Amino acid sequence: MRLRTVAITGCVAFGASLMIFALSLDTRLLGDQSGYKPIQPIAYSHALHAGELKIDCQFCHSAAETSRHAGIPPLSTCMKCHESVLNKAGTPAGKSNPSPDIQKLREAYVSGRGIQWVRIHRLPAHVTFPHSRHVRSGVACQSCHGEIQGEERVEQFMALAMGECLACHRLENQKQLLAGKPAQAPTDCAACHH
């Protein structure tokens, strides 16, 4: 019982300090962030690349299966095609119709300046979220990010709230238990908070 009391006191104190931390540092940590859809420096389209051209998500976000972060691809990944693809989308074959956005991309690559993409998803620093474990256990990107392959501009789908993580974890564990397997999606504080 003593251990239990210590653990609960610990959690409450930890919670209170997080709350103060969140309130003092960043109001974006509080409340629903879904629907956030910033304009990017280049009009890169997931609808075109992941939808129409059917490029695999992990061709660009290759770290999703192995690391904590899925990562944003370096421009060298874009240049595998845009060394030669220079036209605006939808230009008939044999015509020249250079795209100003692809021009910008190539200049950013050649000069080494890169592109400062506006970051969309951001969990508070006190939360651990490993992509690898989710992707390897077969959770689709779309369960958390929505139908990105149909979006011209990425829009945040999840609110990134603790309740969303827990709701899916509980559901997954129920499915596992019904199938006679041990529950594997953690619901203890320490698994997500370090």
Q: What is the rounded CA–CA span in Å between residue 91 and residue 127?
A: 45
Indicate whether 106 belongs to the interface with ligand HEC (CB under 6 A). Answer: no
Tokens standing for 12? Answer: 């409450």
Indicate whether 186 belongs to the interface with ligand HEC (CB under 6 A). Answer: yes
Q: What is the DSSP letter of 154?
A: -
Span 13-42, contacts to ligand HEC by CB under 6 A: 15, 18-19, 22, 29-30, 40, 42
Stretch that binds ligand HEC, among 1-9, 106-114, 166-174 (CB under 6 A): 166-174
Least CB distance to ligand HEC at residue 35 (A) = 13
Indicate whether 135 belongs to the interface with ligand HEC (CB under 6 A). Answer: yes
Indicate whether 44 belongs to the interface with ligand HEC (CB under 6 A). Answer: yes
User: Between the CA of residue 122 and those of 1, 5, 132, 159, what are the distances in Å?
Assistant: 37, 33, 17, 10
Reported for 87-91, long-range contacts at CB under 8 A and 24+ positions apart, including other chains, are: 89/45, 89/48
Least CB distance to ligand HEC at residue 65 (A) = 7
Exactly one of 47, 73, 106, 108 binds ligand HEC (CB under 6 A); that residue is 73
Indicate whether 6 belongs to the interface with ligand HEC (CB under 6 A). Answer: no
Exactly one of 34, 87, 106, 155 binds ligand HEC (CB under 6 A); that residue is 87
Q: Strand, coil or helix: what is 193?
A: strand
Q: Strand, coil or helix: what is 111?
A: helix
